[in-house]
């Protein structure tokens, strides 16, 4: 046995899939034109698969803030938050996030992935139970695995199935943590958070909500699904990332529990990972400020999302259950999905191709994500590109 023999199945799968597309596994954004356009294969292409919900990466204010931070504080910290990697700017952002989210305590991590890894590997342990939505992100699963906690899944957004597990497990663990997402990254649907909160209270459990895709997108002030559904005070732990609406790199956990601060001393991804660069933190700070000052960005985002959703629905594509900035177009056959993806790229539109096992039900899907930075004309161009491949659906 060689070290790489275990990857034979992946190697074979890649060979099988390569027959459908020469470029799928080698997409390179050769030149970034804006938040909504790039050059791919030498051709100007509309980007409709980036998670860039509010267009922050190309906002002049964010770029200027990042450049100034580099000039004043350097390109990197060269140390973890526990060593020399906590700068004043990290502490400032933690305070600003706490204020924005109406939580008492916030810890900033190097990425959103490491935030979930850090919190879930440390907060719960072998004598506890995590009950998570089956469609939760891989980082939630990985955090639970690292912590050695007992994990039980409930059917996606199925409150009855969640309650069955709570009934069965409520007396078999020291503590129960329910983990869900605000806006799910594949289907673009929301968690039934009010109903989940009611169960959480009834069974004396804790609740963690990953608002990675809903920060800046949902809620009157952009705080996420918990704000939209009026249950913020009932969410024990809010996880988020800077890499979507904030257009940077980093992650956070916010909570009203004072003892959250103890995770700084117990969490391996916090103690042993270099902290976020000053440029990333400064860009996230400025983006957070803009989100609060410009609610019209959310309005624009949802106008674009509803427009494309309605266009795709008119064409009879099989799409997500509700309008959302994340719009999945589903295909039962992988070859057809590849043909559709190639067709869109030929028509100047890039979307994400998502294949099993990353998809919820084992089918392939083309994942569109809209941005406030898209113009109406660009959204209509995306719709026309889909019209050109609707025979493949």
244 flagged as catalytic: yes
- Report how far residue 86's alpha carbon sits from residue 236's, in angstroms, rounded to the nearest whole number: 25
Which residue out of 90, 105, 137, 213 is catalytically annotated?
A: 213
Instruction: Give the number of C-alpha atoms closer than 13 A to the C-alpha of residue 100, restricted to the C-beta side.
Output: 30
185 flagged as catalytic: yes
- Report how far residue 383's alpha carbon sits from residue 226's, in angstroms, rounded to the nearest whole number: 31
Which residue out of 103, 244, 286, 374 is catalytically annotated?
A: 244
How open is the CA angle 226-252-321, to the nearest 5 degrees? Answer: 40
Q: Which residues pair with 209 in a beta bridge?
A: 180, 238
388 flagged as catalytic: no
Residue 274: partners with Cβ closer than 8 Å, 6 or more residues away: 76, 77, 78, 79, 80, 85, 110
Residue 329's SS3 state is strand
Sheet order of strands, 150-154 included: 105-109, 251-255, 237-241, 206-210, 176-181, 129-133, 150-154
Residue 313, classified by CB atoms within 10 Å of its CB into exposed (0-12), middle (13-18) or buried (19+), is: middle
Q: Is the dihedral of CA 289, 294, 297, 299 positive or negative?
A: positive
- Report how far residue 54's alpha carbon sits from residue 81's, in angstroms, rounded to the nearest whole number: 29
SS (H, E, C) 194-228: HHHHHHHHHCCCEEEEECCCCCCCCCCCCCCHHHH
Chain length of the chain: 393
Q: Is the dihedral of CA 315, 321, 323, 325 positive or negative?
A: negative
- Report how far residue 175's alpha carbon sits from residue 221's, in angstroms, rounded to the nearest whole number: 32
237-241 vs 206-210, strand pairing mode: parallel
Residue 326's SS3 state is strand
Within 182-339, strands assigned E span 206-210, 237-241, 251-255, 326-331
Which residue out of 35, 98, 139, 185 is catalytically annotated?
A: 185
Active-site residue set: 185, 213, 244
């Amino acid at each position: 046995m060689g070290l790489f023999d275990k990857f034979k199945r992946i190697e074979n799968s890649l060979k099988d899939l390569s027959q459908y597309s020469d470029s799928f596994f080698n997409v390179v954004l050769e030149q970034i034109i804006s938040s909504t356009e790039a050059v791919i294969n030498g051709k100007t292409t509309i980007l409709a698969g980036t998670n860039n919900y509010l267009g922050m990466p190309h906002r002049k204010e964010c770029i200027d803030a990042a450049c100034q931070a580099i000039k004043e504080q350097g390109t990197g910290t060269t140390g973890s938050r526990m060593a020399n990697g906590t700068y004043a700017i990290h502490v400032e952002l933690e305070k600003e996030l706490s204020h924005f989210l109406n939580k008492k305590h916030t810890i900033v991590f190097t990425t959103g992935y490491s935030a979930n890894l850090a919190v879930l590997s440390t907060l719960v342990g072998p004598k506890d139970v995590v009950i998570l939505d089956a469609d939760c992100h891989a980082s939630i699963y990985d955090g639970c695995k690292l912590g050695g906690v007992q994990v039980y899944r409930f059917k996606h957004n199925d409150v009855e199935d969640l309650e069955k597990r709570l009934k069965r497990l409520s007396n078999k663990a020291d503590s129960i943590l329910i983990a869900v997402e605000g806006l799910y990254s594949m289907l673009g649907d929301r968690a039934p958070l009010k109903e989940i909160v009611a169960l959480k209270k009834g069974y004396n459990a804790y609740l963690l909500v990953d608002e990675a895709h809903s920060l800046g997108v949902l809620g009157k002030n952009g705080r996420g699904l918990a704000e939209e559904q009026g249950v913020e005070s009932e969410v024990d732990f809010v996880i988020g990332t800077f890499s979507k609406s904030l257009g940077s790199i980093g992650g956070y956990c916010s909570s009203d529990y004072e003892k959250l601060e103890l995770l700084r001393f117990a969490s391996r991804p916090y103690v042993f990972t270099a902290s976020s660069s000053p440029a990333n933190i400064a860009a996230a700070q400025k983006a957070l400020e803009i989100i609060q000052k410009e609610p019209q960005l959310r309005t624009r985002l949802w106008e674009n999302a509803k427009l494309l959703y309605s266009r795709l629905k008119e064409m009879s594509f099989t799409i997500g259950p509700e309008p959302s900035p994340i719009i999945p177009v589903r295909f039962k056959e992988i070859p057809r999905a590849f043909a559709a993806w190639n067709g869109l790229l030929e028509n100047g539109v890039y979307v994400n191709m998502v294949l099993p096992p990353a998809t919820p039900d084992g089918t392939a899907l083309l994942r569109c994500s809209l941005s406030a930075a898209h113009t109406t004309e660009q959204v209509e161009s995306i719709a026309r590109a889909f019209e050109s491949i609707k025979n493949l659906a």
